[in-house]
Structure 1
Amino acid sequence: MSKRNVCVFGATGGIGAALVAALAERDEVACIHAGGRRLPEAGAKVRPFAFDLLDESSIVEAAAGMAEAPPDLIVVATGALAFKDGSGPEKSYRGIDAARMSEMMAVNAIGPALVAKHVLPLLPRDRRAVFAILSARVGSIADNRLGGWHSYRASKAALNMLIRNFAIELRRTHPQTIVVALHPGTVDTPLSRAFQRNLPEGQLTASHEAATNLLGVINGLTPADTGAFLAWDGQRIPF
């Protein structure tokens, strides 16, 4: 098996760090480009870089740094659930605030779109490649039964649409590339900690287990899956 180069954006977050750790243990992985807002720790296979989702120039610089070892697997494991001021998602339309909604859109949709803009050209055209972004089941319009969480749901729904767009566009030039949105489940990370109360027993997943689940789904993908929204167990989620 030929060696693979991979990239993880969001490598200092709970899931991102677990993905880097899991990938570093795999013999087929030669190089891991690991990026975060703070510089990730370097390792035998890990090439750290710093980036800011809200600073396109930092993403341009990150992509340029991968040119010598371009990845054939890119995972964007970034995102925000709570607002910068510490408040949680809005429970009612009465809580919608333009500035905070813009903040959520910037982090959960626009930032990942800028990452795609600059790293999709790095993917090979002559063999299988994967571009995966972590989304959330609550971003599914068809699966929405409870309402609320307006900015978060809307930002993830926008992200899902972008994923479908990228898949359609890449199919023309990169027929073996797979572009997907992945729902990791409810993972025990700082992002979800304030929302873990009242979860049914067994629903909370450790970050290392979530990483293993996600990599299992990624490894089983075929070009027929491009444009899909998949859960941690491989089940399709309606958009």
Structure 2
Amino acid sequence: MAGLADVNSINALIVGANRGIGFGFVQKLLQDDRIDYPEGGTATHRLFAAHREPVTPELSQLAAQYPDRLILVPMDVTDEDAIAAGIQQIRESVNQLHLVIYCVGLLHNEEIQPEKGLQQITTEPLLRYFQVNSIGAILLAKHLLPLLKHSEPSVFASISAKVGSIGDNQLGGWYGYRASKAALNMFMKNAAIEYSRKSPKTIVALLHPGTTDTRLSQPFQRNVPPEKLFSVDRTVSQLLAVINSLQIENSGQFFSWDGSELPW
């Protein structure tokens, strides 16, 4: 069965492109040999970078460097109207996408820290975890269907986390983050089943990136062995290798950065 690696011309959408792994995907895909110009100078490959406002200077600089290839799309994944508006902006430029990667994730911020025990659980942080880590992805799946439903293979991948695996959980803690990633896994498993009927050439997959040296993981890197702490560039390269290896029979599955399948 054909996968994304068999498509010569791709349009891609990276959601969460401002920084971290999402920004790394934008950088890497701009270097992809398949993103090129044919004779005549018209871009046949488009890369859409969905971001929260304000856009970071680094992403703005890339957009200025690649004005005909990289298109910035403002998108707040906690607002369905904003998601719909962003998808409409994309549809004004292209009629199909081949690769979508949901890279948005919340583990901590100024107001939220992962819970170590039951007494630290409160309602508002839990709701925020689910809004960002789970609900945004499934709303994206809802609005993206027309752009992924076409005759060529396509992939819709979401960055999940091994700590969202119920079967692998031996330590407990991090209630909101773990549960929201487990919810993401179930949402996208459901979406894979529905897409198999409505967009049968779309592969819906969940990916564990490993511990990556980003702002999300920085407070929790102390006990990570150096060989297990990946640079953003390494993580992106590893995940793209997994994405390019996916076949339609892999839709609805959960993979680690090395291509091994993870338990639910």
Please give the range of the TM-score, normalised by the shorter of the 2 chains. over 0.9
Alpha carbons 1:8, 1:77 under 8 Å: kept? yes
Alpha carbons 1:125, 1:173 under 8 Å: kept? no
Of 73, 86, 90, the residue aligned with 1:66 is 90
Alpha carbons 1:137, 1:237 under 8 Å: kept? yes
Counterpart amino acid of 1:8? I
Tell me how far 1:27 sits from its aligned partner: 2.2
Counterpart amino acid of 1:229? F
TM-score by length of 1: 0.96
Of 177, 180, 189, the residue aligned with 2:214 is 189
What secondary structure, in the 3-state scheme, does the structure 2 residue paired with 1:34 have? strand
Tell me how far 1:231 sits from its aligned partner: 0.6
Tell me what 1:104 maps to. Answer: 129
Alpha carbons 2:149, 2:198 under 8 Å: kept? no
Cα distance in structure 2, aligned partners of 1:197 and 1:12: 25
Tell me what 1:207 maps to. Answer: 232
Q: Which runs of 5+ in 2 are unaligned?
A: 1-6, 36-44
Q: Which runs of 4+ in 1 moved over 3 A?
A: none
Pairs within 5 Å for 1:93-172: 93-172=118-197
1:224 aligns with 2:249: yes
The structure with the larger Rg is 2
What secondary structure, in the 3-state scheme, does the structure 2 residue paired with 1:202 have? helix
Alpha carbons 1:83, 1:89 under 8 Å: kept? no
Please provide the CA RMSD for this pair.
1.2
Tell me how far 1:115 sits from its aligned partner: 1.4
1:36 aligns with 2:51: yes
What secondary structure, in the 3-state scheme, does the structure 1 residue paired with 2:169 have? coil
Tell me what 2:79 maps to. Answer: 55
TM-score by length of 2: 0.87
Q: Which runs of 5+ in 1 are unaligned?
A: none
What secondary structure, in the 3-state scheme, does the structure 2 residue paired with 1:35 have? strand
Tell me how far 1:72 sits from its aligned partner: 0.9
1:47-97 Cα offsets, whole Å, 9 max, x none, are 111111111111111101111323111001001001441x42101111110
Cα distance in structure 1, aligned partners of 2:80 and 2:199: 24
Residue identity (%): 40
Q: How many equivalent pairs are there?
A: 238
Tell me how far 1:112 sits from its aligned partner: 1.5
What secondary structure, in the 3-state scheme, does the structure 2 residue paired with 1:3 have? coil
